[in-house]
């Protein structure tokens, strides 16, 4: 059964023993960030902070910071392997479902306009020491519309509090919000915006996922959830938001006004940029449910909730892109490992069928929007499990000759705020492609059993099956499943 909202998900987490509810008073200034950091490090439960200093509203975080909870959100068994999680994600997102429109919804239970607007009413953490402010938008959706075509976009772009009624936002030119904003700027008009916080667990996966332009993220959110997303219209503009959101912030972004925003602990695990003048959001209205639950996440040094979720979403989407958009056959799996930040590295396992098959894959990814923050690509053969980092290391020694299989591409598209790049060169980045594969052109040899590469040293399938059958009789304890 899909989860309609954040509350249903929290209820299920509680029932499954996946939730820690924290009655002790905690400080929104740094302490929450520290607790979340430790909890992420030990792959702990989802957290509901119920007693935050100066506040009565609770904060929910770490909802999908482990694969078992991502499985739960997707309706899979708790110990589903990563390959299965990504495969399910791929299947569901590939069948979009149009949203349903409602006249009203739970997010309208409280409507605050004008003088009633006070963003400091929510327990927004100052997440960690180097952050330039309190970030209210860390696990949210920012909704805007193309003023020419009417295309609606929903993306996750960080949002900082300036004061009770004003927010700062980072808008990159090559992101969809950037495309919309450029048009409004040319028209010299303010851009209407809606920010949604606290929603059904699969929606943020869609908001952080680079889907093609002119496509509506709500359709994909419906597909992924297996049920149409119910939408309601904003109070002060024509944008639509999920009806069961905990909090909705409505406002507009003037074309030229700037205020200092940042820095922010980035997905790279560093502070890659300094505070700079960036666009502001003037908030006109806040709507929220009764007893709202604030939702946020700590970004920073991997692996955090955002890295894990980006890893799942990008792996699934890149697989679809390579297979269906680029028409590349023979792909066993695509993995953007969470340990590399979820965005920065892709491993693709492929059954090579023609010359340069492996390299085409790397070029395809690096040249696409899925490669917006992608730096390095590793290609392995189809018998190497791309979801098992140990096997990738093995492959990089046993099948790679550096002069043949390592390529460095210079001045490609780099992730902005990449800490390894000089500030003046931000946006440009070098990439490596590693083809840790059996060379396509090698010929069969008798000493290799007439294969084109030396055989892998491993007991035969027949032996392994027979051992498996008798395994319990040997009295050897089985290794605990690693998640």
What are the residues binding ligand FMN (CB under 6 A)?
138, 153, 155-158, 170, 172, 175-177, 208-210, 299, 306, 310, 372
Distance in Å, CB of 176 to ligand FMN, minimum: 3
Are 197 and 245 in contact by the 8 Å Cβ rule? The answer is: yes
**Least distance (Å) between residue 338 CB and ligand FMN:** 12
**Closer of 211 and 361 to Mn ion (Cβ):** 211
Shortest Cβ distance from residue 373 to ligand FMN (Å)? 7
Alpha helices in 367-415 (DSSP H): 389-398, 402-405
CA distance 211 to 218: 11
Question: Which residue sits closest to ligand FMN, CB atoms considered?
Answer: 155
Q: Which does 208 bind (CB under 5 to 8 A by kind): Mn ion, ligand FMN, none?
A: ligand FMN
Which among Mn ion, ligand FMN, none contacts residue 71 (Cβ within 5 to 8 A by kind)?
A: none
The two counts, helices (H) then strands (E), for the chain are 12, 22
Cα–Cα dist 244/229, whole Å: 9
**Which residue, 373 or 387, has its beta carbon nearer to ligand FMN?**
373
Q: Which is nearer to ligand FMN, 385 or 418 (CB)?
A: 418
Give me the least distance between CB of 148 and ligand FMN, in Å please.
Answer: 17
CA–CA gap between residue 76 and residue 119 (Å, rounded): 37
* Distance from C-alpha of 358 to C-alpha of 352, rounded to nearest angstrom: 7
Q: What tokens were used for 469?
A: 């059958």
Nearer to ligand FMN, 3 or 157 (CB): 157
Taking the least distance from each CB to ligand FMN, the nearer of 106 and 346 is 346
Helix (H, G, I), strand (E, B) or coil at 50: coil
d(CA 153, CA 144): 5
- Tell the smallest beta-carbon distance from residue 133 to ligand FMN (Å): 13
Chain mean position to CA 362: 21
306 binds, among ligand FMN, Mn ion, none (CB under 5 to 8 A by kind): ligand FMN
The secondary structure of 59-128 as a DSSP string is: EEE-TT-SHHHHHHHHT--TT--HHHHHHHHHHHHTS----EE-S--GGGSEEEEGGG--GGGS---B-S
**Alpha-carbon dihedral sign for residues 62, 64, 68, 73:** positive
If contact means CB under 5 to 8 A according to the sort of partner, which of Mn ion, ligand FMN, none does residue 299 touch? ligand FMN
Residue indicated by tokens 């050897």:
476
* Residue 176 or 357 having the CB closest to ligand FMN: 176
Taking CB within 5 to 8 Å according to partner kind, which of ligand FMN, Mn ion, none is near residue 247?
Answer: none
Cβ proximity to ligand FMN, 158 vs 399, nearer residue: 158
Among ligand FMN, Mn ion, none, residue 172 binds (CB under 5-8 Å by kind): ligand FMN
Answer with the entry of ligand FMN, Mn ion, none that 209 interacts with (C-beta below 5 to 8 A by kind).
Answer: ligand FMN
Q: Compute the least distance from the CB of residue 153 to ligand FMN, in Å.
A: 5
Partner touching 191 among Mn ion, ligand FMN, none, CB below 5 to 8 Å by kind: none
Minimum separation from the CB atom of position 175 to ligand FMN (A): 4
Both tokens assigned to 383 = 């018998």
- Which H or E run contains 468? helix 461-470
Q: How far is the CB of 157 from ligand FMN (least distance, A)?
A: 4
Q: How far is the CB of 94 from ligand FMN (least distance, A)?
A: 17
Q: Which residues bind Mn ion (CB under 5 A)?
A: 153, 176
**Which DSSP helix (H) or strand (E) runs through 20?**
strand 19-22
Residue 126 site contact among Mn ion, ligand FMN, none (CB < 5 to 8 Å, cut-off depends on kind): none
Tell me whether residue 158 or residue 413 sits nearer to ligand FMN (CB atom).
Answer: 158
Burial (CB count <10 Å: 0-12, 13-18, 19+), residue 240: buried
Q: Which is nearer to ligand FMN, 177 or 243 (CB)?
A: 177
Strand partners, 189: none
């Amino acid at each position: 059964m899909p989860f309609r909202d954040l509350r249903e998900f929290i209820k299920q987490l509680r029932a499954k023993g996946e939730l820690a509810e924290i009655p002790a008073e905690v400080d929104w200034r740094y302490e929450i960030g520290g607790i979340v950091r430790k909890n992420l490090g030990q792959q702990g439960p989802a957290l509901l902070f119920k007693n935050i200093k100066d506040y009565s509203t609770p904060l929910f975080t770490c909802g999908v910071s482990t694969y078992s909870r991502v499985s739960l959100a997707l309706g899979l068994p708790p110990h589903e392997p990563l390959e299965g999680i990504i495969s399910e994600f791929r299947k569901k997102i590939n069948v979009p479902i149009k949203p349903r429109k409602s006249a009203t919804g739970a997010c309208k239970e409280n409507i605050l306009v004008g003088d009633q607007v006070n963003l400091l009413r929510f327990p927004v953490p100052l997440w960690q020491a180097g952050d330039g402010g309190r970030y209210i938008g860390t696990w949210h959706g920012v909704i805007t519309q193309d003023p020419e075509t009417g295309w609606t976009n929903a993306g996750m772009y960080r949002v900082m509090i300036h004061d009770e009624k004003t927010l700062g936002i980072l808008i990159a030119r090559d992101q969809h919000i950037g495309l919309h904003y450029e048009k409004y700027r040319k028209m010299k008009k303010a851009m209407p915006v809606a920010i949604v916080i606290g929603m059904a667990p699969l929606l943020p996966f869609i908001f952080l996922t680079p889907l093609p332009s002119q496509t509506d993220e709500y359709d994909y959110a419906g597909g992924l959830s297996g049920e149409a997303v119910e939408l309601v219209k904003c109070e002060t503009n024509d944008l639509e938001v999920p009806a069961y959101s905990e909090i909705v912030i409505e406002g507009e972004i003037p074309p030229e006004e700037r205020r200092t925003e940042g820095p922010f602990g980035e997905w790279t695990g560093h502070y890659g940029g300094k505070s700079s003048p960036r666009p502001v959001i003037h908030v006109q209205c806040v709507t929220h449910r009764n007893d709202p639950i604030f939702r946020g996440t700590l970004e920073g040094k991997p692996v955090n909730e955002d890295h894990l979720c980006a890893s799942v979403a990008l792996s699934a989407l890149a697989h679809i892109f390579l297979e269906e958009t680029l028409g590349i056959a023979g792909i066993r799996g695509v993995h953007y490992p969470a340990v590399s930040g979820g965005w920065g590295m892709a491993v693709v396992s492929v059954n090579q069928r023609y010359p340069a098959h492996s390299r085409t894959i790397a070029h395809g990814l690096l040249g696409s929007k899925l490669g917006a923050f992608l730096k390095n690509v590793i290609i392995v053969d189809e018998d190497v499990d791309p979801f098992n980092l140990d096997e990738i290391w093995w492959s990089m020694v046993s099948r790679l000759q550096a002069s043949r299989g390592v390529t460095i591409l210079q001045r490609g598209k780099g992730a902005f705020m990449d800490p390894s790049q000089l500030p003046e060169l931000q946006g440009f980045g070098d990439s490596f492609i590693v083809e840790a594969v059996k060379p396509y052109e090698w010929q069969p040899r008798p000493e290799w059993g007439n294969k084109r590469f030396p055989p892998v040293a491993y007991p035969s399938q027949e032996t392994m099956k027979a051992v498996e059958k008798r395994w319990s009789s040997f009295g050897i304890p089985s290794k605990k499943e690693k998640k």
